[in-house]
Amino acid sequence: MRVYLPATIGTLRRLVEDGRFAPLGGTGFALTPALRESYTSGDTEELEYAALLDAARASLRLIAAEQDDGGDEKNPPRRVVISADVEQATPRPDLDAAVVRISGPVELAQIAAVHVDTAEAEAAVVAAAAVIDAADLGDDDAEFALGEAEDHELAWYAPQELPFLLELL
């Protein structure tokens, strides 16, 4: 099953160093039966993209936590989503339609692609990360800030490109 795992630039650095990573709480996003039922139309590609966008929003939470810890200059605030193929993913419709739980770490060999914000998105990502909780509680201004970040498309990278991407940051 293809899963979309929220991450950060720091996560990517650890992935390249260790050859694997464990998503926080084993949480990922995927095209689940509940997600398919929640849409009146859309093909598989469109619904997988919706799951990827959910993971990108979850990445904002990870960035917010890093910012609360003071941030790290070598890890710019950019949304990161790791697309991986895993054998076992358990749907968690109690959390949301696309949420899944995976057990154990994800190996570099399981990664199909990595999606990362470009430098132009950083200011919008920082603003969105600062208000992610308020947006969840219905704050219209916070939701607007999230929309500003989500207007930026994530760039696509093959797993073998990660060392070069991280070197250029």
In this prediction, residue 68 carries a pLDDT of: 80
In this prediction, residue 42 carries a pLDDT of: 79
* pTM of the entire predicted model: 0.93
Both tokens of residue 89?
């993913």
In this prediction, residue 156 carries a pLDDT of: 97
Edge-to-edge strand list for the sheet holding 2-7: 90-91, 99-101, 27-30, 2-7, 80-85, 111-116, 155-157
In this prediction, residue 71 carries a pLDDT of: 66
Q: How many CB atoms sit inside 10 A of residue 13's CB?
A: 18
- What is the DSSP pairing of strand 111-116 with strand 155-157? antiparallel
10-residue mean pLDDT profile of the chain (169 residues): values are 96 94 93 88 89 96 86 86 95 92 93 97 95 92 94 96 92
